[in-house]
Amino acid sequence: MSTVPNSNTACCTIPTVVPKEQYKEKGEYKPYGSFKKVYSVGNPKSGKTIIGVYDIFGYWPQTLQGADILAETLDALVIYPDFFDGKPWDHTDFPPKSDESKKKFQEFLAGIANVTERVKDVGELADQLRADGATFGAKVVTIAGGTGKTDAVVAIHPAFLDVKDAENLKVPIGLFPSKDEPLDEYEKVIKSISSKPFASKNAYKVYSDMHHGWAAARANLDDPENKKQYKDVYGTAVTFYKGVIAG
């Protein structure tokens, strides 16, 4: 099941995607608002801002490359705040195996990665913005889409997919799960957003051959198929954003 409001010409025009070892990010790290550090890239005078919410592993080249693609292709300012204040979850300890590690992970999710608090952070950054998130970040931006402080959201391989979040949406959504997200819940979400007044602007597609995380920290851009689908999902997100920006 998939639909995109416009033909996906963007996926043919986004910048070349390269493996993480070869990638040099185009933005810079600096303080922004109440944050000590954000990754900022793109045109601050464009009037178009995308707030990115990374996954639990924080800043990774694959995530930053996605931010750079959005900034360049949309001529937008893209900002990825350091929500975890330099303390993301250690990727070498995922999934957590020992009881102690599992306990620490639950404390991480309840503490610095608390979704409710991060939604507040997104809302405080701007009154009108586009929000983009992967995995953990997808949950945050989807809920933020129901606060009235965003004008569009994109959720890529969303963790904790829940139709209740979709029911509260007030803005268009681009929803792009992997094979690892629950298809039954996804179908409930699609049914819900298809009855919204902005339904014609929504975009959604299941990447049934891709693993959870294929467009963020766990992307393997040395793999031709992962690279192809990585490029496709960011291109599809660009097309979606252009449709929303165009009104």
Query: What local confidence, expressed as pLDDT, does residue 131 receive?
Result: 57
C-alpha to C-alpha distance for 32 and 37, rounded to whole angstroms: 7
Q: What domains can be seen in the chain, in order of their start residue?
A: 2-245 (3.40.50.1820)
Spatial contact of 146 and 169, defined as CB atoms under 8 Å apart: yes
Query: What local confidence, expressed as pLDDT, does residue 3 receive?
Result: 44
Spatial contact of 198 and 172, defined as CB atoms under 8 Å apart: yes
Query: What local confidence, expressed as pLDDT, does residue 126 receive?
Result: 55
Show pLDDT as tens, one digit a residue, over the chain (247 residues): 444 333 333 333 445 566 777 889 999 999 988 889 999 999 999 888 898 999 888 999 999 999 999 999 999 999 999 999 999 999 888 888 899 999 998 999 899 888 888 878 877 775 445 555 554 578 888 988 998 888 899 999 998 899 999 999 999 999 999 999 999 999 999 999 999 999 999 999 999 999 998 999 889 999 999 999 999 999 999 999 999 875 5
